Structure 1
């Protein structure tokens, strides 16, 4: 019986040694890249986001004129749609960029809430400040997007 245990132990040691030696170093994994489907989904929303971004001067003018009804319409219309599009794009970004994109989208939402409050209070200074912050958030988000040949260059 003792002899069988020692032979059994010997085979277990051989098996363990073999399994450990086969483990070897990990194979290098290529960095994550965008798939064609992800790029297509991102590109579908990009023109709408960029169009709202390009209208920043329009919002600034409305605030300076004190046209609070149209400012609120702009907040609850185009900018809110752009924020919604940002949330649609986020899952298609690389995993390392998704948490940053979610944070930027939350920051944009918070800036829009403060902008809406400033608009309700007819406070142009705070409204201008929050409008600039909102468009800065959109710019930060656009920087996360993959650069493609069809994407317009920022001016």
Structure 2
């Protein structure tokens, strides 16, 4: 009786292995792409981010003329809004790009803090260097964003 149970268990084990090995996904899953709704949402926020990027010369001019209050207003106003838009866009990026997007948003925040700290002590060079680095982070972020508004070109 014990020998029959062992053989039966062995046969059921082989049957289970055979059935499991024959099963599985029969259709390959396509790579993730952006939906048209996601592209529309992303493009709305990207235009805001690009608008701030285009104002980089304005911030440099404020720093060079040592208008520290206006520098603070710029970093706490348009630059912070751009950072918030970047956060929103990051959550809509493809999963493979989200971690890089989050890292760039954190880096931008660090640069904004450094600009504020330099402005507090009147460090023109430190503020300029941090502002150039902040806009470089924005450029890197914009490279992660899909450039087209139609999903057929994205594939």
The residue number in structure 2 matching 1:137 is: 137
Which ranges in structure 1 are unaligned for 5 or more consecutive residues?
A: 151-155
Shift of 1:147: 1.5
SS in structure 1 of the partner of residue 77 of structure 2:
helix
Q: 2:99 corresponds to which residue?
A: 99
Alpha-carbon distance in structure 2 between the residues aligned to 1:68 and 1:10: 80
- Do the aligned residues in 1 keep the contact of 2:56 with 2:135 (CA within 8 Å)? yes
How many residues are aligned here?
A: 150
Gaps of 5+ in 2: 151-155
Distance in 1, Cα, partners of 2:15 & 2:62: 77
Shift of 1:20: 3.7
Q: Which moved more, 1:16-25 or 1:92-101?
A: 16-25
Whole-angstrom CA distance in 2 between matches of 1:17 and 1:116: 64
Give the TM-score normalised by structure 2: 0.87
Q: Relative to structure 1, is the Cα distance of residues 80 and 24 closer, same or farther in structure 2, using a 3 angstrom cutoff?
A: closer
2-structure distance, mates of 1:62, 1:76: 14
Partner Cα separation in structure 2 for residue 93 and residue 149 of structure 1: 14
Superposition RMSD on alpha carbons, in Å? 2.1
Matches within 5 A, 1:1-155: 1=1, 4-5=4-5, 8-9=8-9, 11-23=11-23, 27-149=27-149
* TM-score, scaled relative to structure 1: 0.87
User: Structure 1, residues 55-109: CA drift from partner, whole Å, max 9, x if none?
Assistant: 0001111111111111111011000110011111111000010000000000000
Q: Give 1:133 deviation, angstroms.
A: 0.5
Give me the whole-angstrom Cα distance separating, in 1, the residues matched to 2:108 and 2:146: 20
